[in-house]
């Protein structure tokens, strides 16, 4: 699942690695709304992890809208994301294949950073990079071994969303 911490929405693509009952329990416990959808790669195979096709940042969202099989659901999700005020950056199947959706916004001393692989960064178009750079510094990382196994930068990170202690 990919979490929108601001809007309290948990997005999840159905696959043999997701479980709607577990998602409902998580959402109930942590006060998130579940949004489940079917997503497929360019060959029509189910996408196994939502973070392959989606990254939600503070002011942007990277998403492979064409991976969402049902046109009405695709429009609903795109509209929902746009209504948050974020820039919705639509990724192609080729960009998803190059791990452009498998990124994570981090907060550093000097502002927000988008951690993604060098391969993913090279896959982004100049206009997409310009949109991202309005709100984050892009940090490309070389992770070819992880990508040979089917994962990328987001798969190696965990978000910590705790309130600071005084």
Q: Tens digit of pLDDT for each residue in 83-94?
A: 999 999 999 999
Across 63-82, average pLDDT = 96
Is residue 151's pLDDT more than 90? no
The answer to whether 73 and 13 have CB atoms below 8 angstroms apart is no
The CATH number of whichever domain residue 20 belongs to comes to: 3.75.10.10
Is residue 152's pLDDT more than 90? no
Tell me, yes or no, whether 162 lies in a domain. Answer: no
Tell me, yes or no, whether 103 lies in a domain. Answer: yes
Read off the tokens for 53.
């096709």
Tell me, yes or no, whether 163 lies in a domain. Answer: no
Is residue 75's pLDDT more than 70? yes
Residues of the domain holding 121: 2-156
Contacts (Cβ under 8 Å, ≥6 apart) of 44 = none
Tell me, yes or no, whether 138 lies in a domain. Answer: yes
Across 79-102, average pLDDT = 96
Q: Which pLDDT value is given to residue 159? A: 76
The answer to whether 84 and 58 have CB atoms below 8 angstroms apart is no
Q: Which pLDDT value is given to residue 161? A: 65
Tell me, yes or no, whether 137 lies in a domain. Answer: yes
How many domains does the chain fold into? 1
Q: Which pLDDT value is given to residue 157? A: 77
Across 31-43, average pLDDT = 95
Tell me, yes or no, whether 165 lies in a domain. Answer: no
The answer to whether 92 and 36 have CB atoms below 8 angstroms apart is no
């Amino acid at each position: 699942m990919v979490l929108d911490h601001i809007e309290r929405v948990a997005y999840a693509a159905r696959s043999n690695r997701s479980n709607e009952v577990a998602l409902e329990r998580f959402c109930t416990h942590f006060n998130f709304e579940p949004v489940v959808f079917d997503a497929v790669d360019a060959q029509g195979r189910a996408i196994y992890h939502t973070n392959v096709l989606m990254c939600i940042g503070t002011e942007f969202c990277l998403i492979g809208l064409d991976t969402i099989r049902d046109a009405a659901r695709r429009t609903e999700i795109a509209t929902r994301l746009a209504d948050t005020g974020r820039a919705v950056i639509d990724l192609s199947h080729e960009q998803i294949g190059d791990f452009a959706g498998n990124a994570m916004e981090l907060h550093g001393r000097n502002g927000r950073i988008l951690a993604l692989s060098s391969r993913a960064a090279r896959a982004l178009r100049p206009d997409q990079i310009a949109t991202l750079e309005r709100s984050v510094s892009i940090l490309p990382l070389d992770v070819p071994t992880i990508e040979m196994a089917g994962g990328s930068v987001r798969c190696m990170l965990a978000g910590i969303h705790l309130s600071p202690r005084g």
